[in-house]
Structure 1
Amino acid sequence: MITVEGLSKSYGNFRAVDDVSFACQPGRVTGFLGPNGAGKTTTMRIMVGLTAPSAGRVTIGGHLYQDIPNPGRHVGVLLDASAQHAGRTGREILSIGAETMGLPASRVDEMLELVSLDKTEAKRRLRNYSLGMKQRLGIAHALLGDPSVLILDEPANGLDPAGIRWMRGLLKGYADRGGTVLLSSHLLNEVELIADEMILIGRGKIVAQGDKASLLAGAKHDTTNVSSLDNDLLTKALEHEGYSVAPAGAGLRVESAPVDVGRVAADNTIVLTDLRSADGGLEDLFLELTSDTQRDVLPEGAQA
């Protein structure tokens, strides 16, 4: 279990992490989401003793990371897949890790097989690895000591679709066996598929946390996409009831909940061919909650 309590980190007048508190439970995957510069990596670095906090603390299994004996046997960490000696081979990197942790050499072969790095790739030097191969090696290193907790920063970065699916299954299986997983990612759709809990951070502050259902339930879902056999008649009926209606593709977009739209259609004997919430899921919620931190907004009137 990971427990973050009142965590803050300042660099001069800039506060990278601002009074952050949350917990990651065993048997669950927790997604840590936020724009670039939101404070995700700083928080993770504090967790594993690479950065000192200005206030608050993080405990793993009730202990500060620095107080855990042979921490690699308890906490698997991947913050930067390239942060290894570029001149060493993949096998050498894992072998050094295994020796440091007091593990048998056979564990190296087990991990190479687990992450699908073959014998030829294992003998290749890190500088000649693709980003996806570095990620696989980094995951192997994080799992080397058979830890009970995993802390992973952007683990899907550089993986192809098959690799992302492989990683998803790997981490879900790890959590199903009782492991605690904290992962940061910008791949929101992937987080929706894998995470049991989600923590959204913006400008160093937690803006929302909970499981997907509770997060989306807390947002307003009162916009509907609808189409019918007679969209003109449906538009008139909806506007007569006071709803705002606009064309949307082959259908209509209505500022109301689907149940209200369906009721108007039924009252006017209009056959619907499509009726669904216009909710955009986690991505829309994420962008809404972190809107003041987004930089990729096209200025009005600007053209691509």
Structure 2
Amino acid sequence: MITVEHLTKRYGAFTALDDVSFESRPGRVTGFLGPNGAGKTTAMRVVTGLTPASAGTATVLGRPYATLPNPGRHVGVLLDASAQHAGRTGREVLTLAAILTGVDRRRVDAMLELVGLTEKEAARRVRNYSLGMRQRLGIAQALLPDPEVLVLDEPANGLDPAGIRWMRDLLAGFAARGGTVLLSSHLLNEIERVADDIIVIGNGRVVAQGTTTELLAGAGTRVASVDDSALAAALEADGVTVAPLATGGLRADTDPDTVGRLALRAGVALRELRGGDERGLEEMFLELTASSAREGVAA
């Protein structure tokens, strides 16, 4: 269990996190989404005791991370795969981690096999690893102590499609066994497939959170036409609340049949008409973070 309450982090005049609250619960994968610079990594660093909060609290398994007895045994963390010691072999990285946390060294072989690193690859220096191999090694290190909680920042970076599928199954299995997973990723389709809950952050504030089903259900109707201004006027004249979408078109607070009927009455040709529950995670993400996203970035 991860609990974040009214978390604020300031760097001088800049506020990286502003009154952020959320939970990541056992038995569930929580997707943590936001544009670059939104505050995801800062929040994860506070949760794992690497960055002190300016205000608010972050607890793991009911306690601040730093006060857990041997926290590395309870919480598996991967925030930056490139931070591994480049001069050590993959096996040495895991063996040292086992020694430091008091884990049976026999788990090193089991973890290497789990993440798909061969004996030959495990004997190579980390400086000679690809990004995907470093990610696998980082995941092996996070899982080494058989933790109750995983905190993973962009763990699928550098993985090929087969590796991404493997990652999805691994996290789903970990959660199914009662583990807690807090996962950030820019691969929105994968988050949509694996996450039970989603937290969306923008400009250091939580802009939406809930189960994946709830957030993707949306409301009303998504519609696009040859003249959205005229269509919006026709809908509003009939008492329908309308809002423009960052991805183009309109969201109308009514059912598709009503939108189609009013568009026909107004003589506006439609290009798209569908219920709000048909939208995907990418569309929802872009709508919620339109004011804070940098061009071309959805991380």
| TM-score of the aligned structures, taking structure 1 as reference length | 0.82
- Give the Cα separation in 1 of the matches to 2:235 and 2:59: 51
Equivalenced residue count is 271
* Match of residue 280 from structure 2: 281
CA distance in 2, matches of 1:283, 1:73: 35
Residues 101, 254 of structure 1: CA spacing in aligned structure 2 closer, same or farther, 3 A cutoff? Answer: closer
1:73 aligns with 2:69: no
Instruction: Tell me how far 1:215 sits from its aligned partner.
Output: 1.3
Q: Distance in 1 between matches of 2:93 and 2:282?
A: 37
CA 1:254/1:80 → structure 2, altered by over 3 Å: closer, same or farther?
closer
Deviation at 1:216, TM superposition (A): 2.7
Contact 1:225–1:277 under 8 Å retained in 2? no
Q: Mind listing any 5+ residue stretches in structure 2 that lack a counterpart?
A: 226-230, 237-248, 263-271
Contact 1:5/1:56 (8 A) holds in 2 = yes
Q: Deviations over 1:247-292 (max 9, x none)?
A: xxxxxx998643447889xxxxxxxxx9844754111111111111
Report what 1:231 is aligned to: none
Cross-structure match for 1:187: 187
The structure 1 residue matched to 2:256, chosen from 258, 282, 299, is: 258
Cα distance change, pair 255–192 in 1 and its aligned pair in 2 (3 A): closer
Secondary structure of 1:37's aligned partner: coil
Match of 1:293? 292
Structure 1 runs, 4 residues or longer, greater than 6 Å off = 253-256, 261-264
Q: 1:150 aligns to what?
A: 150
**SS of residue in 1 equivalent to 2:198:** strand
C-alpha distance in 1, partners of 2:288/2:250?
Answer: 23
Deviation at 1:221, TM superposition (A): 3.8
How do 1:72-221 and structure 2 match up within 5 A? Answer: 72-217=72-217, 219-221=218-220
- Aligned partner letter, 1:104: D
Instruction: Say if 1:20 and 1:254 are closer, same or farther in 2 by CA, change over 3 A.
Output: closer
* Paired residue secondary structure (1:16): strand
AA paired with 2:58?
V
- Name the structure 2 match of 1:59: 59
> Once the 2 structures are TM-superposed, how far is the Cα of residue 153 of structure 1 from its aligned partner?
0.3
* Secondary structure of residue in 2 paired with 1:292: coil
Q: Distance in 2 between matches of 1:76 and 1:115?
A: 15
Alignment-mate amino acid for residue 283 of structure 1: E
The equivalent residue for 1:24 is 24
Kindly provide the amino acid, as one letter, of the partner of residue 56 in structure 2.
G
Report how far residue 224 of structure 1 moved: 5.0
Moved more, 3-12 or 288-297: 288-297
The CA deviation string for residues 205-233 of structure 1, in whole angstroms up to 9 with x for no partner, is 0000001221133x34412589xxxxxxx
The answer as to whether partners of 2:256 and 2:275 remain within 8 angstroms in 1 is yes
CA contact 2:221–2:274 (8 Å) conserved in 1: no
1:47 aligned onto 2:18: no
The DSSP-based 3-state class of the residue aligned with 2:175 is: helix
Tell me the distance in 2 between the aligned counterparts of 1:189 and 1:63.
Answer: 33
| Structure with larger Rg | 1
Deviation (angstroms), 1:72: 1.3
How high is the TM-score relative to the length of structure 2? Answer: 0.83
Q: Give CA-to-partner distance per residue, 1:169-188, whole Å, 9 cap, x none.
A: 00000000000000011111
Which whole-Å deviations, capped at 9, do the CAs of 1:38-81 have from their partners, x for residues lacking one? 00000000111111110011111111111111111100000000
Which piece of structure 1 moves more, 279-288 or 41-50?
279-288
Which amino acid in the other structure matches residue 141 of structure 1?
Q
Aligned partners of 2:15 and 2:235: how far apart in 1? 44
**Structure 1 unaligned spans of 5+:** 227-238, 245-252, 265-273, 298-304
Letter in 2 for 1:39: G
